[in-house]
Amino acid sequence: SSAGMTNEMATIFVADQIEKVESGGGDESEDITVHEISLAEIDDWLKQSQQSGKLIDSRVYSGLYFLRRESDVHVG
């Protein structure tokens, strides 16, 4: 969809010191794959994913931009 064609809103949260307690992600009717990647490896993982033909949602890059801008996290 186009940014001008929807009223969709994305909210980005930062969470630390969390632990995954179950597999999956989201509602049982959704087909979601959860990827756990360290910040130290995220840039390489994204590059490899793109090179293998995967589409990366622009919100991933937006989230990383704001995380790095608002913190002392400068990895990659």
CA separation for the pair 1, 16 (Å, rounded): 32
Q: What is the pLDDT of residues 2-57, one digit of tens each?
A: 666 778 888 888 877 888 777 766 677 877 788 888 888 999 999 999 999 999 99
Residue 52, pLDDT score: 98
**Token pair of 62, please?**
């937006």
Looking at per-residue pLDDT, the higher value among 69 and 23 belongs to 69
Q: Report how far apart, in Å, the C-alpha atoms of 74 and of each of 38, 48, 66 are.
A: 13, 20, 11
49-74 mean pLDDT: 88
